[in-house]
Structure formats: C-alpha cells, structure tokens
Structure 1
Amino acid sequence: MDYWRYNTMWFEDIPENFYVHINFQNEKVTLQQISQDTEYLVLWHHKKSKLGNFSDFPKGLRYLELNWSNIHDFNGIEKLSDLKRLDLHYCTKLSSDGGGSGLSDTLEILNVNQSKKFVPGEDLMSLKNLRVLRLYSCGSIDDLSFVNHFPKLIEFSPYGTNILDGNLQPLLDHPTIRVSGFNNKRHYNYSYEKLKSLLEEKNGNKEYKSIIEKGKYATFKFID
C-alpha cells in the first residue's frame, strides 16, 4: 500500500521490514546499518555526513521524515529516486532548495515546517509532479505566481508563512488547487474562510479526496 499518501501517517500499519524510526540522541546506530529494503524512514537529530546530506540513506525510500536535521539544502537527494513524500520539521538551518530538482520526476508531497530561512526557488519549481506543498512558518514569499509551475498541485498551504503582496488570487486561478491553509492577515485579499469556500466550489465541486477510517480515527488522501 502507498501509506505515504495518507495525510496522517499511520506508521503502525506499515510492515516492520519497510519502516525504521531512529532518534540519534538516544540510539547508537548508523544509517549504514539500516536495511536497504526500508521504504519509510523517520529520523530525529540527523546530522549530514562529510559525504553529503543523503549519502547513506536507503536508496528505495518512498517516505522520508527529518526532525531537527542540520541540512542546509537538498544536494544529493537525487540518489533517492523513488521518494514520493518528504516531511521536514524544525530543520532550522535549511536555507536553500538547491538540489531539489533531483526529485522532479517523483516527489508528490513536500511538507516544510519551521524553517524560517527557507523560501521557494528554481529547484523547487521544477517539481512538476508535486500535488501537496505545505510551507509552515517558513521565510516570507513575495507573491504566489510560482504556483503555476506545479500543474498537478491540489494543496498549497503557507500556514504561518507571510505572502508579502497579499494577493491570494493565484490559488483560485490555478486549475487544480482545491485546498489552502493559512493565517488571516489584514493585507490578504481573501480570508481563510472565504477562500476555503471558493476552492471547494472549483471544478464543479468535483470530489478530490477520499476518507480512510480505522476504528474511531480517520484521515484522507487525495484522489489521483
């Protein structure tokens, strides 16, 4: 199953031989010891090696989550040629999307959370298969004209990230965007509530996500 598609990851459902979770502050283990069969990898306090950011990672990863990593950019990530989703949390030194174009053929979901120095650049705009882009509390963005570089984008959410010109119209004009999460700001030309309603109505209210339930829990994934 493509667990990486789920908005909320249910790691307990992933077969053990495909999933690895490591906190380098508490565990004495190296990336070289990880099975090359690993497809889902969650790392805490990862530090890039002298050989580069992603030199020792399993090459068949489909989902990668980095928490408090010291990476500055994405150089070397092209080695992860099967990667579909990249989640970055509190990677506070991340300041460039350099190298990100190495995932232009595969990456569909990119979540960047709490990287104040990070703003979209040319490499990020090469990700033509991107369907979800969330930039939470990242560097200020001049305007939203760049979303037109993503022909398959369904969600763009700059929650906690300032759009300097305040013009959110590009989200409505984009042919496929249906979801956006952001803070209400005085200089924005739409409130969150108004834009949410207008985006839901786009494309004749065509359904764009499916709900997955497990007991009392539920999540969703975007429909192909």
Structure 2
Amino acid sequence: MKISVDDWGGFKFVNLDSSNIDECMKYYFNGQADGIMVHPYGKYKKNDLAFLKKYKNIKRFIISYGDKIDISLLPLLQEVEYLGVFDKQQAIDYRIFKNLKELRITWHKRVDLPEKSNLLTSLYLHAYSPANKSLAALPDYRNLESLEFLGGSIETLSGFKRFQKLQNLTIIRLLKLRKIFKIEKLSGFINLHLELCKKIQDANCIAKLETLFYVDNGELSSIKFLSKMKSLEKVFLRDANVLDGNVLPLSKLKIAGFSNKRHYSHTSEQIDALIESNKII
C-alpha cells in the first residue's frame, strides 16, 4: 500500500488511512515522515481518535475539520510538540499539553489556550475573537518567535509588547485593525506579513524590518518611508496601490515584488534590473 504524505509548514505528515492505521504508523515511527495528519475528507473515515490509545507518543499531529470527528481522546498525546486542530465546536483545554512548541488552531469560546509557557515558539490562531478585542488576553509566551492571525475580531495590538522574542508576525483579514505601531517596541522583530487589512493607517511606522509583505491592504500614499528602514531587504507589495507612483525606493533592496500599474514610475521588470545592477556595483 502506498502511504500518502502531505507537506505542511515545512514538515511531512502522513495522511492517515483509517483502513491501514498500523502501516501508516510504522511509516511514521520509522522516521519517514515528521507527523500524522487526520483528514475526514481524505483517507480517514472513522468518527473518533480511538487509535491514539495505542499510539500516544506522536510528536506532531494535525486534525482538519475536527468538527466531523470526536476529538475527546486528543489529551492522550502528552508528548506532542506540534499540534494543529481545526475545529469550530468541541471543547478542548490546551493547557494539558505541557510539551507544545508549535500550536495551530481554530479559536472559539470553548478553547482554553496554554498557560504561560517557555517552550511555545510558534502560535497560529484562526478566528481569534476575544471579548476585549486585543491581545491582552493571550498568555505570556516569553519565547514566542512566530505569531499568526487569520480572521477574527481583533481591533488593537494592545498587549503585544510582552512577546519580546517575536521575530515574525502574520496578520491576515483583521478587518477592524487600524494601527500596528505597537510592534515597533519589539527589539528582535524582523518579518511582517499584512494581508487584507484594509483599515491599517500606519504601515510606515515600522523601522526595523528585514522583510515586509504588504498584500491587498488598500492604498499607500507613498513608499518613501522604506528608505528609512535600514535593515530592510525584501518587500512584496501585491495588489497595493502606491498613490504617488514612485516605486524607485524598491530598487535599493535585495528583492522586491509588486503589481505593475500605469502611473508607476517603473515597472517591476525595471526595478529588478536596477536591483541586479546594484549587486554588480
């Protein structure tokens, strides 16, 4: 039987076949994959996770469309370090997982996030909608390096400065978020991905970035502010309209990408050529 393996976040996950669980697990435990993925619209046709009674020592585990499966046995995974759970209904207490380094979940009101952790380095929250509309309710993850939000009701990044080791922030479809200036307080912060956040008003306030993804967030009056960002190396402005048309600041970078527009001073091809000529110099 051919084992199905999917790439996910830089890891290889066995797409668990409920008709051949033991062979899939053998493949994983032999080191041929990094983790186990349960997908009810894939090869997993059971309605629970009973196999975890036998296989408790999985290090990386993902369950998609968890609302189609009873996930009550998930706490058996006490050795899990990477956990992805995409479920919109069932109660789950992530505080019981003491070895988590990376957590990727759909948030809802029946979810309890891990308490203060020195191990957690990466957190992805889909539909995070706390009552206070901020990050203040997030526990203190002192070694958090990567934080991602997809959708939700966050309106302010208040509470952000606790994550002093954060290096990467991804914010997608936070429709009410207006200001991001608070991330400037972080000393090690280097990579920012902003997408579909059309009310952002202060994208020019961040000075320390190495990489900026600015995707479909509406209009920018100018990108002159990029010249003040001394560490900046890469910028991607997809579906972003620079009103004054001057895209020449992008030529000073190592990599730049943007959507061509008639009123722009240069095409993306011309900017690429200027970047290459700067490398020769």
Instruction: Tell me, yes or no, whether TM beats 0.5.
Output: yes
Aligned-partner Cα distance in 2 for 1:179–1:185: 19
Q: 1:162 is paired with a residue of what secondary structure? A: strand
Letter in 2 for 1:61: L
Aligned-partner Cα distance in 2 for 1:166–1:40: 37
Q: 1:71 is paired with a residue of what secondary structure? A: coil
Partner of 1:65: 148
The correspondence of residues 113-128 of structure 1 with structure 2, limited to 5 A, is 113-121=195-203, 124-125=205-206, 127-128=207-208
Partner of 1:21: 104
Q: 1:68 is paired with a residue of what secondary structure? A: strand
Partner of 1:161: 240
Of 55, 79, 87, 2:170 maps to: 87
Of 205, 210, 220, 1:141 maps to: 220
Partner of 1:150: 229
Aligned-partner Cα distance in 2 for 1:11–1:63: 16
Partner of 1:37: 119
Partner of 2:135: 53
Aligned-partner Cα distance in 2 for 1:11–1:64: 18
Letter in 2 for 1:107: F
Equivalent pair of 1:62/1:83 in contact (CA under 8 Å) = yes
Partner of 2:268: 192
Aligned-partner Cα distance in 2 for 1:28–1:109: 31
Q: Which moved more, 1:113-122 or 1:40-49?
A: 113-122
Gap regions ≥5 residues in structure 2: 1-7, 13-33, 35-59, 61-80, 83-99
Letter in 2 for 1:161: A
- Describe the superposition over 1:190-219 as per-residue Cα deviations: whole angstroms up to 9, x where unpaired: 1112212322332328xxxxxxxxxxxxxx
TM, length-normalised to structure 1? 0.75
Partner of 2:30: none
- Describe the superposition over 1:145-172 as per-residue Cα deviations: whole angstroms up to 9, x where unpaired: 1012210101122111110000111222
Equivalent pair of 1:75/1:98 in contact (CA under 8 Å) = no
Q: Which moved more, 1:54-63 or 1:74-83?
A: 54-63
- Between the two proteins, what is the percent identity of the paired residues? 23
Q: CA deviation at 1:71?
A: 1.8
Indicate how the Cα distance of structure 1 residues 140 and 11 shifts in structure 2: closer, same or farther if over 3 A, else same: farther
Partner of 2:69: none
Of 81, 89, 98, 2:181 maps to: 98
Indicate how the Cα distance of structure 1 residues 200 and 9 shifts in structure 2: closer, same or farther if over 3 A, else same: farther
Letter in 2 for 1:119: Q
Q: What number of residue pairs does the alignment pair up?
A: 190
Larger Rg: 2
Gap regions ≥5 residues in structure 1: 1-7, 206-224
Partner of 2:259: 183
TM, length-normalised to structure 2? 0.61
